[in-house]
């Protein structure tokens, strides 16, 4: 069976690992953006996660001539009017670290009681083809924000996102469980079905 060539339209090494892990077993030859050093930096200026995912995937597909897969994920906290949302990766400012974002979030929620700490993790994955065709899927999981940073696994907001039914953060649960139930895992399972239909 011929392998499908897919460019992962992200420079986030943690996302690349998760994507490859969940899509493992499919006849795919993955490329990363580093393989195309001439590609310009894509300005994520969309008003929604879906707009950003589509823009990244479509740009990379049109410039490389290969299928491109892009993910845009966000944490939406109800009591913060949906923030950080589309700004999740740069919540604490351009060039900030995961820890910076988590500290800012916990500081903003310092005096908010447990009943009002509800949050939603959302992931949109876009699969773009060189001919302009695009397919999008969504994964989401409800949870709440912890009072402090907990756990040593994962990345992003994993140390502060409490998963319902487990009473632990994604960072405490580890990759085995996260790659089965997370927002990104759900979206990847859906895109896995799309890719399976293409290669079969």
99-115 pLDDT tens trace: 999 999 999 999 999 89
How far, in Å, CA of 51 to CA of 43, rounded?
A: 11
- The parent domain of residue 191 ranges over 4-199
Q: Are 161 and 169 in contact (CB under 8 A)?
A: yes
Q: Is the pLDDT of residue 55 over 60?
A: yes
Tell me what pLDDT residue 199 has: 82
Confidence of residue 198 (pLDDT cuts 50, 70, 90): confident
Q: For the domain that residue 191 is a member of, what is the CATH number? A: 3.90.950.10
163-187 pLDDT tens trace: 999 999 999 999 999 999 999 999 9
Q: How many other CB atoms are there within 10 angstroms of residue 119's CB atom?
A: 23
Tell me what pLDDT residue 3 has: 84
For the chain, helix, strand, coil in percent to 5 are 40, 25, 35
Number of domains in the chain: 1
Average the pLDDT over 143-159 and give the result: 97
Catalytic residues: 72
């Amino acid at each position: 069976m011929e392998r499908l060539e897919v460019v992962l339209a992200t420079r986030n090494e943690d996302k690349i690992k998760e994507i490859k892990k969940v899509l493992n077993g499919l006849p795919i030859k993955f490329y990363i953006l580093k393989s195309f050093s001439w590609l310009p930096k894509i300005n994520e200026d969309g008003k929604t996660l879906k707009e950003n995912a589509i823009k990244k995937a479509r740009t990379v597909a049109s410039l490389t001539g290969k299928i491109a897969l892009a993910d845009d994920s966000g944490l939406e906290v109800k009591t913060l009017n949906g923030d950080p949302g589309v700004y999740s990766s740069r919540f604490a400012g351009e060039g900030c670290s995961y820890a910076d974002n988590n500290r800012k979030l916990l500081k903003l929620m310092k005096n908010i009681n447990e009943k009002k700490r509800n949050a939603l993790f959302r992931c949109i994955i876009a699969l773009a083809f060189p001919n302009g065709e695009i397919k999008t899927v969504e994964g989401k999981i409800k949870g709440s924000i912890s009072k402090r940073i907990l756990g040593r696994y994962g990345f992003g907001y994993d140390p502060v996102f409490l998963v319902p039914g487990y009473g632990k953060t994604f960072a405490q649960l580890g990759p085995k469980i996260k790659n089965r139930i997370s927002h990104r895992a759900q979206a990847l399972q859906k895109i896995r079905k799309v890719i399976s239909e293409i290669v079969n």
